[in-house]
Amino acid sequence: MDDCIFCRIARGEVGADIIDERPNAIAFRDVNPQAPVHVLIVPKQHIPQLKDLGPDRCEVLGDIFSLANDVAVSEGIGQTGYRIVCNIGEEAGQEVDHLHFHLLGGRFMKWPPG
């Protein structure tokens, strides 16, 4: 989708505070942080939701989680702990119709969440 904000960020058409990237994924700071560290990790290819990620795209998930681990370390939360959240669908709070993972840390997390 040409007008998807995350696709435009991945293509470099929209500015973002990019932290790191892999061939299939990019990590950038959330503009509305919910924790001291709040990074979004998105596939570079437009994939609307987790259900749209078939077995032919295993490399995408590999890049996403490898990137999440490296970002957690570089942001100083790799040892203290962090949370990775993927909201799927409107009722779960997905606001952008592009698969993305929130990496949150830098404070104690409550359970159960929201």
Q: Which residues are catalytic?
A: 100
**Identity of the amino acid at 56:** D
Which alpha helices (H) appear in the chain, and where do they start and end? Answer: 5-10, 58-74
Contact between 100 and 47 under an 8 Å Cβ cutoff? The reply is no
Q: How far is CA 38 from the centre of its chain?
A: 9
